[in-house]
Chain A
């Protein structure tokens, strides 16, 4: 457990460095391309650092806002509050804040930067489908993510990937509208060089989101097995989580707020299509191990 906490902190640091290097690289390429010298580089550096600091400090807020979660009080949801508080006690961490996501697909996630700043969110659908023991299993899984600092990596990845995708789209659009084209035409001497630079910049822009996607895959899949096992150990009752996962198998997964930047945070991978299971693309970029496999491993415990 302690090794995982250390590994997650290390991963977060590496992510920040990678994000900064990647963005600065893009900025540098754009600077060369537009002959604007170091301006692009400086802007990119400022954006990258701001993004990293922002995702560390406000990542949880951004993630919660993107899912339209609402915080609930103990009076509104006494049972959920009792369960979360109980498992926080079992894990020996402070009680996280509790949010409800207005979606009918049963699902849940945890976010935050450490156990002192943590949040657990469940969908309306989860509250309606699960009984107490199953809810305890699900919350136990989320609490394991909190204890292991998976929430830190997950949240940082979500906000960095989200921002990278946004930035890449922004630049592609600028390009499309000819923002860079005019000035490049004046550069009569280095036709071949500018073509090369163009290619490098273009590749970087394409690579940024894909790269983000790959990092996310690396972060996520094994964590889920671990969190399942640790969560079951917290509740000392694996059948609760097993039964919850079995219910998820037949439940709808479509969510209005489903997007690539936050998919890995959820208990079960959300899909975008109404009434459909995961599409082939989503399965290819799957962030979660398949449910039958997770159930099998829990049953072996």
Chain B
């Protein structure tokens, strides 16, 4: 009789642990998804800024046609990208193009004083730092989810319910630190 109770007790404890691990996995998966959609929102916002920005710079530096085309192309590719790795690759191109664009702007003092351009620049800087923060949140959550999926005994639950490891969103960065552009 006592043996039966002991077995039942063990089963109950195991079940409870399983439920707890399962819920934890679901929470983390939701957070990873939320993190990804945040990144997506910010990337889209940056893409929306690009045509305006290109137009404004064009007014002052029309001969940089090749650069404008490259940025516009990178933007189109970024909007069509699917999956974490593809998106990261596309974003690297957009970032590189924008960096070059901003370097060109340095040669035009009139443009740098243009109110419209300054507003766009603030939006761009703000959006890029939000991309960085969204990426930071997403990668943190991916790391937690992946750790849980890999480690024992949660790996058993993860395997049984088909939880999959996620990819980190990795992009190239020239320097660490929040933002490089000083506005004031």
Residues of A within 8 A of B (CB): 78-79, 81-83, 85-87, 89-92, 131-133, 136, 235-237, 239-240
Contacts and interface: CB of A to CB of B under 8 A. Distances in A.
B1 to A, nearest CB: 40
B123 A132 contact: no
A92 B177 contact: no
A85 B130 contact: yes
A90 B133 contact: yes
Nearest to A75: B119
Interface in B114-163: 119, 122-123, 125-127, 129-130, 132-134, 136-137, 141
Contacts of A78: 119, 122-123, 126
Contact of A82 (B38, B126, B141): B126
Interface residues of B, number: 26
28 contacts: A79-B126, A82-B125, A82-B126, A82-B130, A83-B129, A85-B130, A86-B126, A86-B129, A86-B132, A86-B133, A89-B42, A89-B130, A89-B134, A90-B134, A92-B34, A92-B141, A131-B182, A131-B184, A132-B125, A132-B178, A132-B182, A132-B183, A132-B184, A136-B179, A235-B178, A236-B178, A237-B176, A240-B178
Contacts of B38: 89
Given A78-B123, A82-B122, A89-B137, A136 B178 contact: yes
Contacts of A87: 133
A132 B133 contact: no
B30 to A, nearest CB: 11
Given A82-B130, A85-B130, A133-B177, 4 more contacts: A82-B126, A82-B129, A131-B182, A132-B125
B31 interface: yes
Interface of B: 31, 34-35, 38, 42, 119, 122-123, 125-127, 129-130, 132-134, 136-137, 141, 176-179, 182-184
A237 B177 contact: yes
Contacts of B178: 132-133, 136, 235-237, 240
Contact of A83 (B123, B126, B182): B126
A89 B133 contact: yes
A78 B38 CA distance: 19
User: Nearest 5 pairs between A and B by C-beta?
Assistant: A82-B126, A90-B133, A86-B130, A89-B133, A86-B133
A92 B133 CA distance: 9
Nearest to A137: B178
